[in-house]
Amino acid sequence: MEIPELPYTVPRVVKGRNIIKVPAGSTMEKEVARQSWYVEFFFHNAAEERMERIRVTRKLNRIKDPRQKLKNFNNLCEAYRIALEGGWNPLDEQANARLKKELIGVDLDEALVLFESYHKAKGTRPKSISTYRSTVNSFIKYHGGSKKVNTISDFEITDFLNFKEREEKWAGVTYNNCRIGLNNFFRYLKVNKYIPENPVTDCETRKKMPTQSHQVFTERDFKVIMDWLDKHDKYCQLFVRMIYYTCIRPKELRFLQLKYIDLEENTITVPGTVSKNKKSIPVNIDVSLRVELDKLQIEKFDKEYFLLGSAQTFISRSMCSENYAYNRFKKCLEATGLLDKNYTLYSFKHLSNVRKFRAGWTLAEICSANRHGSLSETETYLKELLKFVRSDKAIPAI
């Protein structure tokens, strides 16, 4: 077989089949853009002594705008032409992977898909993945999903962050959280060789302001809230009592089935599939909480039922919706005039820990009660709460 002077043909854009008829209301340009396009070239396969056809689309057929689609396919075609002229062998799988990452590159839309897939495989919490997705999507909306990740510098990052800070009146903590999300995204791309450097690394941060969410109740406000719930919402009252006495998180309570409540051992176990740290750790049922649970006659229900599934029956076949308990608690805050104090369902957990600390609980005991993985996690958690701790002990005399 005669080997050509070059081991390849010049790449070209193929735009699918010929259009015979243009439907009413459309145009020839739009109909052509609806076809499946690809970049095509032939490369000499030395092992089989023949020219092998190569067709690539790089998922660009998802683009429906005719001009945008043509621009992207022309860029793709040019990238392959440059690579072939530089000696690249498309039949070498390692070289092919290297070209995809370094020369052709992935765009932001593709990078987000890869990033999400990585975190799902890693077992990252769905809520964290959703936060990452929201941050990156906001960045994509600003710069465009077709922008190649290897063309993004610290300028694009800073430009985006400054714009959002200016237009949406971001506080420092919001700015920093967004920066952290983008840093994780681009760090993943760097580790996997899609970009040479992380463009977020040298971007400035904002001064961190103390968080105002999940504020600890004052004793007066706590009494007002519990009195109102006792008169108007028994369901929400039990929900917050569960948080206070067990320090089980609101999400974990939503998923709590009767089979995880052991009244003989007097424990509640949050399964690892639901718990934040992925560990199944039992929590003791306090004497005061046991009285409330006994009223529900748990033993009469199917073990698969949910403890707090319904405001009418409490125990229910199905779980309550994500914001069900919070929305009921919010009505309480509105009715008592406490909506502007940044109280949340987590405030019951925080108050519980402050009272434990005041009552003489050790750090290790509080750590165990909260199912924290380490004492350092508990120390970090208590840092903001310590401002509510006051001592009435006398100062030793000089």
As given in the structure block, the two tokens for residue 249 are 């998180």
% of the chain residues with pLDDT over 70: 91
| Torsion sign over Cα 340, 341, 342, 344 | negative
% of the chain residues with pLDDT over 90: 40
260-274, 280-294, 352-366: which range is least confident on average?
A: 352-366
pTM: 0.54
For residue 263, is pLDDT > 60?
yes
- pLDDT score, position 142: 92
- pLDDT score, position 391: 62
List C-alpha distances in Å: 386 to 164, 175, 382: 34, 26, 6
Average pLDDT over residues 326-354: 91
> Angle at Cα 356 formed by Cα 340 and Cα 396, nearest 5°?
105
How long is the chain? Answer: 398
Average pLDDT over residues 87-95: 73
Q: How far apart are CA 301 and CA 44, in angstroms?
A: 71
* Pick from 60, 62, 92, 91: nearest CA to 77: 60
Average pLDDT over residues 1-27: 83
- pLDDT score, position 279: 81
pLDDT band at 1 (very low <50, low <70, confident <90, very high): very low
- pLDDT score, position 332: 95
Q: How far apart are CA 156 and CA 21, in angstroms?
A: 44
pLDDT in tens, 233-260: 999 999 999 999 999 999 899 999 999 9
Question: What mean pLDDT value characterizes the chain?
Answer: 86
- pLDDT score, position 125: 83
Residue entry with tokens 């429906």: 64
- pLDDT score, position 96: 60
List C-alpha distances in Å: 353 to 12, 80, 248, 289, 365: 68, 62, 12, 16, 10
pLDDT band at 208 (very low <50, low <70, confident <90, very high): low
163: left (phi over 0), alpha (psi -120 to 50) or beta: alpha
> Angle at Cα 353 formed by Cα 350 and Cα 355, nearest 5°?
110
Domains of the chain as residue ranges with CATH: 12-104 (no CATH), 108-191 (1.10.150.130), 219-388 (1.10.443.10)
- pLDDT score, position 353: 86
pLDDT band at 388 (very low <50, low <70, confident <90, very high): low
For residue 26, is pLDDT > 50?
yes
pLDDT in tens, 49-72: 889 999 988 888 888 888 889 988
As given in the structure block, the two tokens for residue 87 are 């000696």
**Between 379 and 48, where is the model more confident?**
48
- pLDDT score, position 83: 81
For residue 211, is pLDDT > 80?
no
**Between 137 and 19, where is the model more confident?**
137
Beta strands in the chain (DSSP E): 12-14, 38-45, 50-56, 261-262, 267-270, 281-284, 306-310, 314-316
pLDDT band at 138 (very low <50, low <70, confident <90, very high): very high
> Angle at Cα 356 formed by Cα 351 and Cα 358, nearest 5°?
95
- pLDDT score, position 216: 83
